[in-house]
Structure 1
């Protein structure tokens, strides 16, 4: 059987892939401990040494589910309060990562527009299967919104974001916020999100054995999270691509590489938001591998992706302020 044709990597990305033996292509269940052991080891000092942010840790508790994740909060110094919040969910295929992973990307994005960053420490599979991770993410989100005034944060300006598995969990938390008791989100930023447990798209088959996080790795992550339950019964809050109703979601930014496993499910998610009457902006970066701007931030394509993401967030904040001013003017 011949291998399917696949889109090419951008030259910079392809060269970097050939040099980076630490990047995960395929992942099998017995390799999860190795993935965790070689994960990046960012810590508090990495985000506070330049004095831009004040870091604090908090325990969020949700009496509804019993979830009690830690939340790392980075508040910008010398900014008038209340400040908007980027609520960030780290990646790691549902099986690895910490609240400090991807945080450099989140703080760079937030810094440009004067936002605080809250990052949640959710439980990992396979030790903790669904719904542990999404319950933790949602518990942290509710805690941030409920405690925002006392923390100098603006509960009306919360944007949820996530990378890879974190993007899928962010999308699931946005569905929960819509369907349950809020909070109302100003927007969501889904960076190469892991949305669909079915793992049967053209892009999933194209990228088998190449790039970063291929079809085998994806199956390992989803199986660890969902366990033995039949896939046809996977809940929408586990696998957001299975949601039949994507109406009522906040403005959404989705991006991914053209040469990655999640490309097709991410395109489809944005298309279905549009079909439901929602607002979504979609960018597929030609030649990009999975999470390319996280592991090769210096590449020209990575800089373009981060710049475009930041421009969208800036527009979202400006549009919110204009809408608030218009509402205020209509009541005077």
Structure 2
């Protein structure tokens, strides 16, 4: 699990470097301080003099809850900002001896609260704050959107999930890093029958790490609860839309056409719900 996420980071870092060649650098702000650690929000596209408040998207990287950094999502953030959104990659605490995914979830929830509290300054519409979550970041996004935030704090208003970890209640790795705490309380699949925001998922049908069946079960529960949930499926592709399905943990070969199409599907989802201009 660790190795796959490290490699994923390298892949996304290349994408980010390419995107940054023509995109202004983000404004980096502290949204929360825990002990001596200042957690950062990397803000792309904020504008004090925008004609009207714009929708925002908070981006949460993958990494198996133990690896990663906000910069891993810079590539997508620059693309979202180019669409007219305020895009904000979020740093969250990684699992260590005294830190669990529950702490990362609390950070994600606080990032949404910080964005809304600073909405006027950032030029953001506080009623249109979405989440973009990759793999483990998908679990954080979905759990926050389905009522798992501490104190039932408000999570995202819309969710974009890329190869998300949705069924973690019985996952051996997740149970291990939860260190005895109940994983079902933050498992998106277990929470899917709650009221929650519209959701779009990009999913490889041959994904062995975050399987299609979990996304299908998640969306079935969301629809049964009256929610909106769509899955954009990609046959023959694995985790993060890799073509190398025989090794989805250490040797990615992401299908570029499928990746472009998946992002286009998310853009259409945003447009249909008024987050992006047609």
Alignment of 1:179-328 (within 5 A): 180-182=152-154, 185-198=156-169, 219-220=172-173, 222-229=174-181, 233-237=182-186, 239-243=187-191, 246-261=193-208, 262=210, 263-292=212-241, 299-317=256-274
Say if 1:93 and 1:283 are closer, same or farther in 2 by CA, change over 3 A: same
3-state secondary structure, aligned to 1:59: strand
Q: Supply the RMSD in Å over aligned alpha carbons.
A: 3.4
How many residues were matched structurally? 263
Question: Which segments of structure 1 move beyond 3 Å, counting only runs of 4 or more?
Answer: 32-39, 41-49, 65-68, 76-81, 176-179, 293-298
Deviation at 1:169, TM superposition (A): 0.6
Q: How does 1:78-157 map to 2 (within 5 A)?
A: 80-111=51-82, 113-127=83-97, 128-157=99-128
Q: Tell me how far 1:182 sits from its aligned partner.
A: 2.0
Q: CA deviation at 1:35?
A: 6.0
- Quote the residue 1:72 is aligned against: 42
Distance in 2, Cα, partners of 1:272 & 1:122: 28
SS in 2 for 1:93: coil
Shift of 1:62: 8.0
Note the C-alpha offset of 1:130: 3.2
**CA distance 1:49–1:85, shift in 2 (3 Å):** same
Distance 1:68 1:142 in 2: 16
With over 3 angstroms needed to count, the CA separation of the structure-2 counterparts of 1:66 and 1:114, relative to structure 1, is: same
Higher gyration radius (CA): 1
Taking the aligned partners of 2:222 and 2:132, their CA distance within structure 1 comes to 17
Higher relative contact order (CA 8 A, sep 6+): 1
Deviations 1:31-64 (CA, angstroms, capped at 9, x unpaired): x4896599428499766542x445111112389x
Q: Could you list the runs of 5+ residues in structure 2 that have no partner in the other structure?
A: 244-251
